[in-house]
Amino acid sequence: MYRPMLRQFELVDIVRSYDPGTDENLLNKAYVFSLKAHGVQRRESGDPFFSHPVEVAGILTRFKFDHLTIAAALLHDTIEDTVATLNEIQTEFGLEVAYVVDGVTKLSKLDLKSEDTKQAENFRKLVLAMANDIRVLFVKLADRQHNMQTLHYIKDPHKRQKIAKETLDIYAPLASRVGVQKMKETLEDFAFREINPQAYETTHKRLEFLCDSLAQPLEDIEADLEALLKKTGVHARVFGRLKTPYSIWKKIMTQNTTFEQLCDILAFRVVVPSLAECYQALGVLHSEYWVVPGRFKDYISTPKVNNYQSLHTAVISPKYQRMEIQIRTEEMELEAEYGIAAHWQYKQNVKAHDGKKYLWIRSLLQIMEQANNPEEFLENTKLEMFQEQVFCFSERGELIVLPKDVTPIDFAYAVDSWLGDHISEVKINGKSMPLRTVLQNGDQIQIITSEDQMPLPVWEKFVRTGKARTHIRQFIRAQQKKKMIQRGKEKLAAALGLKKEKIKEPALTPLLSTFSCSTLADFYEALGEDILDVAEVAQTLHKKKF
């Protein structure tokens, strides 16, 4: 049931604690406005509806968002669920707050109204909104996190399942992409609990058992690691935790392994003052503990797409405990904890809210422009965003980051669309290889092109990135369109009895509206695809003395 929510002065105090220059009047006004607007409304849990926007605002304060974002969070449901209007929000709170509130409102109106088409359209609108202001996404993510925390109050099991699946498919990966790992894990675990309660319960119990049966408690391992590093001159903060049930279950499923074989159920973070000490700490740990082969990853020299940087290794302690260790600086830790949200803590970064400054959003916008419909956009975006990564190098040594299991065709399109359209051969690490070869970390790729080469339909079956698939489909559609237009011209010429004479297109253009076509290309294509009956068209043209 209802629990005490953050009071007005408490929320303001929290924001002021990390941003002394915050506009307290704006926050106070937003709190009171939302409270009055929602009035006596109740959530399915029985709590006052106003508790929801306050919780959403509270979630965002953990990431130290600016007062405008917190105000937008307080107001994010007022347009949809109360008599308040967008003009009123804009007048009272300004353009920035109004834009974020409007963006979240438009998304909420589409949520769960129908099946896949609306979900795809919803996601398309989210990308457009966050491209203009990334804060729309953060408010939406915080909104979804609180809704997932109270999901069990929804009585309809079908609706719960649908919300959980959407959370797992779209919102958790988006949280990962903007680097807010804790929010990603929270969304995943709440969704996992709803979608597969038996698997969740089993994994959760095994984690509890593991924690109880550790040869050393987490606190003792932390102390041992700190002491070992300090002895060699490395002063570090060390803290450990268990992996989440969903991340463990996912690895067991995808890697075809067992709970006991996983190295990273027990994970420790080592935070050091400088970059040099990251590698110094790594050397100390590798010299003291048994190293698990093949588990070392250097995300400092090759960061993830969301700018995550850290050294990852897996070791076995003297007491035979397998554990993952992540080593990073304080700055890397800030980025790992807050992701893009960390930019609000860099006071010099005044354009942090501009979504187009982030490469992955620009990539999504490019896919959107070329996709044939919202469903295709959503499908290709999932390919682009929601997979693990592989790091490859161009012939000149440029690093290209791509999803796992990509091919040279994906690589070519990632470098330049023209290269992708005209790739004819590829050399991987100096050796000629088939175009469908799966690329591995560290591969150096040389793309050989030909003016005569064009994308082939079969490419679509083995490419992995949304950009490559979108370009291939676009090219195939363009080629099919050309064929249909030519076929339509030939059919019409034959029906009109024309042999060597050409169709009088200037005289035909004014008659296009008769056939519900806006251009000659559309008209010929409709004839080529037999959408228009050529005999009826010819008869109509004769009547109009064409």
Burial 348-376 (b: 16+ CB within 10 A, else e): eeeebbebeebeebebbebbbebbeebbb
Nearest 5°: the CA angle 191, 364, 379 is 55
| From 23, 80, 337, 405, the catalytic residue | 80
Burial class (CB in 10 A: 0-12, 13-18, 19+), 71: buried
Beta strands in 344-466 (DSSP E): 389-394, 399-403, 423-428, 431-433, 444-449
CA distances from 103 to 96, 100, 123, 175, 341 (A): 11, 5, 12, 17, 18
Residue 80: active-site member:
yes
Give the CA count within 13 Å in the CB-facing half-sphere of 540.
13
CB 50 within 8 A of CB 38: yes
| H helix intervals, 7-115 | 8-18, 24-38, 51-61, 67-75, 78-81, 86-93, 95-110
- 332 vs 238: CA distance, rounded Å: 14
Please say whether the beta carbons of 455 and 480 come within 8 A.
no
Residue 490 known to be catalytic: no
Q: What share of the chain is helix, strand, coil (3-state, %, to 5)?
A: 60, 10, 30
DSSP 511: G
Strand 431-433 to 423-428 pairing: antiparallel
The closest of 269, 338, 239 to 18, measured between CA atoms, is 338
Look at residues 80, 83, 92, 103 and name the one whose alpha carbon lies nearest to residue 31.
Answer: 92
Bridge-based pairing of strands 389-394 and 444-449 is: parallel
Q: How far apart are CA 204 and CA 248, in angstroms?
A: 10
Nearest residue to 183 (alpha-carbon basis) of 70, 336, 74: 336
Distance (Å, whole) CA 24 – CA 56 = 18
The catalytic position among 23, 81, 337, 460 is 81
Catalytic residues: 80-81
